[in-house]
Amino acid sequence: MAAISAGEFERIFKDLYRPLCMFALRFTEKTEDAEDVVQQAFADVWDKCSHNVAIANFKSYLYQAVRNRSLTLIAQSADTGQTTEFLADMEDTSEEEQMYQSERDARLWAAIDELPPERKKIFLLSKRDGLKYQEIAEELNISIKTVENQIGKALKTLRETAVRIYCFFFS
């Protein structure tokens, strides 16, 4: 405990939790797995702090820990087919770039979180579940026009969020 106060640790935890989860989600499919991995990584760091083991860079250490734990996790599970695509995608980006990317992803997640419920539902049916507009319209008993309209609005909101993020990160 001597190395870092509980309050300071809490601040770091809250800052890094979601980005780290997004990072873990590059390896694992399930959000539950990602959250578990991140929790374990933090527990490991907390344990080290309690035993006065100095950690030079928390953020970098945590990302490293999450990556290693995630890889261990997917190595244990048989199904690794889908994740390789992302692994390949990541190989050429730097560690720093991966952190930024995870932070941007976390913001996008938050932006989706904040969409109005009905709009969010339609948006997710399309982008997450891969339903066609026609199918969504039938599923929810609404017109295709409404589906298009709602998805258009959702995309607009998310794009604006992204623009803000990009401006922030690249300015």
Q: Please report which residue ranges of 25-143 form alpha helices under DSSP H.
A: 31-50, 58-76, 81-91, 95-113, 117-127, 133-140
Instruction: Output DSSP code: residue 102.
Output: H
Number of residues forming the site for another protein (CB under 8 A): 41
Out of 3, 55, 108, 140, which residue is the one contacting another protein (CB under 8 A)? 108
Q: Which is nearer to another protein, 14 or 54 (CB)?
A: 14
Would you count residue 133 as binding another protein (CB under 8 A)?
Answer: no
Task: Give dist(CA 22, CA 78) in Å, integer.
Answer: 22
| CA–CA distance, 98 with 135 (Å, rounded to integer) | 36
Rg (CA), the chain: 19
33 belongs to the binding site for another protein (CB under 8 A): no
The answer to the question of residue 81 lying near another protein (CB under 8 A) is no
Q: Does 56 bind another protein (CB under 8 A)?
A: no
Is residue 140 a contact point for another protein (CB under 8 A)? no
Does 46 interact with another protein (rule: CB under 8 A)? yes
DSSP character at residue 3: S
Return d(Cα 23, Cα 38) in angstroms, integer: 9
Query: Is the Cβ of residue 71 or residue 90 nearer to another protein in the bound state?
Result: 90
The distance of Cα 101 from the centroid of its chain, to the nearest Å, equals 9
Contact between 61 and another protein by CB under 8 A: the answer reads no
Q: Which of 39, 98, 146, 149 binds another protein (CB under 8 A)?
A: 39
DSSP 84-101: HHHHHHHHTS-HHHHHHH
With CB under 8 A as the contact rule, the residue among 98, 101, 149, 157 that binds another protein is 101
Residues contributing to the site for another protein (CB under 8 A)? 5-7, 9-10, 13-14, 17-18, 21-22, 25-26, 29, 31-32, 34-35, 38-39, 42-43, 46, 86, 101, 104-106, 108-109, 112, 123-124, 127-128, 155, 158-159, 162-163, 166
